[in-house]
């Protein structure tokens, strides 16, 4: 049937959406980050019911696997893998940085072939999760955790215009030394999730249900109480 359930809990807003052959049909959003876990299953059930189908009729589950909020990523991945295991459906994973870059590409008017897109996700203090993509969404700088300084993109930004976006880009805006840096606002877009998930589904680029883990990009640390 080519229905795909899509889950994104990587950032502040949780999104559950339903797509058919790469086209968004409906979505549900939760703006309370602490409620992501309790939001997911009722939201999925509501979308399935309103679409007039059953869970058994879906073809795959897609999840935004990070980087982003550690807790949010674990919630989204666990829910997605649980559905796939129970229904015997494939799992599709989508990188949150590429998702932001693809959303920016659809937003920026007159994006030139030689211009670059740099999504940034807040990683506390002066750190961000980031990557750089060209206008065709090919990787120029692979996803990484980066501590920002004025020299962070020195070899790229001097020669090409770069678009910065995401909830971590305000840190870079305060120290960006080059006039070639432009800042744009984009929100996570279920239309783009649907398109990216459909491309992966058609190419059978599935993740292992048993071994798939969130893309954290840096270790998770916690303080143990005595």
CB 163 within 8 A of CB 117: yes
Same fold, 3-95+189-202 and 97-183: yes
Q: What string of pLDDT tens digits covers the 226 residues of the chain?
A: 799 999 999 998 999 999 999 999 999 999 887 788 899 999 999 999 999 999 999 999 999 999 999 999 999 999 999 999 999 999 999 999 999 999 999 999 889 999 999 999 999 889 999 999 999 999 999 999 999 999 999 889 888 899 999 999 999 999 987 788 899 999 888 999 999 999 999 999 999 999 999 999 986 544 444 4
Burial state string for 185-203 with b = 16 or more CB within 10 A and e = fewer than 16: ebebbbbbbbbbbbebbee
DSSP element (H, E) containing 23: strand 23-30
**Residue 93: closest CA among 111, 68, 66:** 66
Parse the chain into domains and list their residue ranges. Answer: 3-95+189-202, 97-183
pTM above 0.95, yes or no: no
- The Cα–Cα gap between 78 and 214 comes to 10
- Quick one: pLDDT at residue 222? 45
- Quick one: pLDDT at residue 23? 98
- The Cα–Cα gap between 40 and 94 comes to 18
**Residue 7: closest CA among 66, 50, 86:** 66
- Out of 3.30.420.40, 3.40.50.2300, 1.10.600.10, 3.40.640.10, the CATH code matching 3-95+189-202 is 3.30.420.40
- Quick one: pLDDT at residue 180? 83
Backbone angles phi, psi at 218, to 5 degrees: -150, 160
- Quick one: pLDDT at residue 220? 54
Instruction: For the chain, give the number of residues.
Output: 226
- Quick one: pLDDT at residue 124? 86
CATH topology of domain 97-183: Nucleotidyltransferase; domain 5 (3.30.420)
Describe the crossing of helices 96-107 and 190-202 by its angle, rounded to 10 degrees. 120
- Quick one: pLDDT at residue 225? 43
């Amino acid at each position: 049937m080519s229905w795909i359930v899509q889950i994104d809990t990587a950032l502040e807003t949780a999104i559950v959406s339903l797509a058919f052959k790469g086209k968004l049909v409906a979505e549900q959003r939760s703006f309370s980050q602490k409620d992501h876990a309790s939001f997911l299953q009722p939201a999925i059930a509501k979308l399935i019911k309103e679409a007039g189908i059953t869970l058994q009729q879906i073809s795959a589950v897609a999840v935004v696997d990070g980087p982003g909020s550690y807790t949010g990523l674990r919630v989204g991945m666990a829910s997605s893998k649980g559905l796939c295991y129970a229904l015997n459906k494939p799992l599709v994973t989508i990188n949150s940085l590429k998702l932001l870059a693809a959303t920016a590409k659809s937003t920026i008017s007159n994006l030139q072939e030689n211009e670059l897109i740099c999504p940034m996700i807040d990683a506390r203090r002066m750190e961000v999760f980031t990557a750089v993509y060209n206008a065709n969404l090919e990787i120029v700088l692979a996803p990484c955790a980066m501590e920002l300084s004025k020299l962070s993109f020195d070899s790229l930004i001097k020669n090409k215009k770069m678009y910065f976006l995401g909830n971590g880009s305000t840190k870079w805006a305060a120290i960006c030394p080059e006039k070639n840096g432009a800042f744009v606002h984009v929100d996570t877009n279920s239309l783009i999730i649907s398109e990216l998930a459909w491309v992966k589904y058609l190419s059978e680029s599935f993740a292992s249900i048993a071994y798939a883990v969130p893309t954290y990009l840096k270790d998770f640390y916690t303080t143990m109480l005595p």
